[in-house]
Amino acid sequence: MEERTITVTAELIEEEVGGFTVYCPELDIYTQGEDRDDALANLREAAQLHIEEVGAGNLKLRRVERRGLTLHVHA
């Protein structure tokens, strides 16, 4: 079985009530954790389970393009 390496994005969002939500846009999966390391470990596990479920040969990574936006907000 051939092994390949892929790189995906982990977007960490600190929650007001504690902990972190983490999102991977390429695979469209979310998970969470008590701290950054826990959230990233949970995302790694969720991503690996997702890939096993769909099959590595059927894996389609979503194309993600990030842009910064400047907003003018009236206070």
Per-residue pLDDT tens for 12-59? Answer: 999 999 999 999 999 999 999 999 999 999 999 999 999 999 988 899
User: 9: how many CB neighbours lie within 10 A of its CB?
Assistant: 13
* pTM of structure: 0.85
CB 66 within 8 A of CB 11: no
Whole-number CA gyration radius for the chain: 15
**CA distances (Å), origin 48, targets 8, 14, 43:** 12, 23, 8
Would you list the domain boundaries of the chain?
A: 11-58
Which is more confidently placed, 18 or 1?
18
Distance (Å, rounded) from C-alpha 34 to C-alpha 13?
Answer: 12
Q: Closest Cα to residue 21, out of 9, 32, 10, 29? A: 32
